[in-house]
């Protein structure tokens, strides 16, 4: 399970206030291959970590673009998962690269959602600033292990919180994206990276 917390104020009272404060934990198998947050290419347009699991390459759990598109994904536990389902990380990647606004994209996802294992998706247009919608998680939790996986920082053998992300966007559109990432599946080794940029107006 992952944790995603955010505070959203489309019109902050002062210039020093933040429009958005987002904090996220990515809980995942420690040995699942992934890349830490970075800009995807020389255009420096989209910033995110990337899943490198075979067959799921290029998906992500949280990302933001300089055009003001941001998306975040959390999975939820269900008794059975479909090994042939589409990779959920593509839901974030596809939004960040699509020309669709968040409302249109989420309508499209609501029709195609059955092709994926369970998820919650947050998609936002930070220059349009609509209210974000979070899909109902349903009731397919695995009750006996909920306490173990519902902690703020999950620590289990081979699985747990391996990435912490904080995104700050101030009233002027200045973005600070900070990620703390586990190194070599070792809970005692972490690397922190910070990126700053301004949203395009």
Number of structural domains the chain divides into: 1
Task: Show the tokens assigned to 80.
Answer: 């059975």
Owning domain of residue 77: 3-198
Predicted confidence band of residue 130 (pLDDT cuts 50, 70, 90) = very low
- The pLDDT assigned to 38 comes to 95
11 vs 138: CA distance, rounded Å: 32
Q: How does pLDDT run across 50-60, given as a tens digit for each residue?
A: 999 998 899 99
148 vs 153: CA distance, rounded Å: 10
141 vs 47: CA distance, rounded Å: 31
- The pLDDT assigned to 148 comes to 58
The CATH number covering residue 148 comes to 3.60.60.10
- The pLDDT assigned to 149 comes to 57
Show Cβ contacts of residue 74 under 8 Å, excluding neighbours closer than 6 positions. Answer: 1, 2, 3, 4, 61, 119, 120
Q: How does pLDDT run across 86-111, given as a tens digit for each residue?
A: 999 999 999 999 999 999 999 999 99
Predicted confidence band of residue 123 (pLDDT cuts 50, 70, 90) = very high
Give the 3-state secondary structure of residue 32.
coil
Residue 131 has pLDDT above 50, yes or no: no
- The pLDDT assigned to 151 comes to 58
Residue 113 has pLDDT above 60, yes or no: yes
- Answer with the residue of higher pLDDT: 11 or 141: 11
60 vs 82: CA distance, rounded Å: 19
Share the mean pLDDT of the chain.
Answer: 84
CA-nearest of 107, 108, 100 to 125 is 100
- The pLDDT assigned to 128 comes to 76
Q: How does pLDDT run across 178-193, given as a tens digit for each residue?
A: 999 999 999 899 999 9
- Answer with the residue of higher pLDDT: 22 or 139: 22
126 vs 101: CA distance, rounded Å: 10
Predicted confidence band of residue 143 (pLDDT cuts 50, 70, 90) = very low
Model confidence, pTM = 0.71
- Answer with the residue of higher pLDDT: 79 or 36: 36
121 touches 75 (CB < 8 A): no
- The pLDDT assigned to 156 comes to 81
């Amino acid at each position: 399970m992952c944790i995603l917390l955010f505070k959203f104020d489309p019109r902050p009272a002062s210039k020093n206030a933040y429009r958005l404060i987002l904090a996220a934990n990515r809980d995942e198998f420690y040995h699942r291959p992934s890349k830490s947050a970075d800009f995807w290419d020389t255009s420096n347009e989209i910033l995110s970590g990337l899943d490198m699991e075979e067959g799921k390459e290029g998906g992500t759990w949280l990302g933001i673009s300089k055009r003001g598109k941001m998306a975040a994904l959390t999975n939820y536990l269900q008794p059975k998962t479909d090994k042939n389902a589409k990779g959920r990380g593509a839901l974030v990647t596809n939004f960040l690269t699509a020309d669709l606004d968040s409302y249109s994209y989420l309508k499209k996802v609501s029709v195609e959602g059955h092709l994926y294992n369970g998820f919650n998706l947050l998609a936002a247009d930070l220059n349009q600033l609509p209210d974000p919608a979070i899909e109902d998680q349903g009731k397919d939790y695995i009750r006996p292990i909920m306490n173990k996986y519902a902690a703020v920082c999950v620590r289990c053998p081979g699985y747990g919180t391996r990435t912490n992300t904080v995104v700050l966007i101030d009233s002027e559109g200045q973005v600070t994206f900070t990620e703390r990432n586990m190194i070599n599946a070792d809970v005692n080794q972490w690397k922190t990276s910070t990126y700053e940029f301004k949203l395009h107006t």
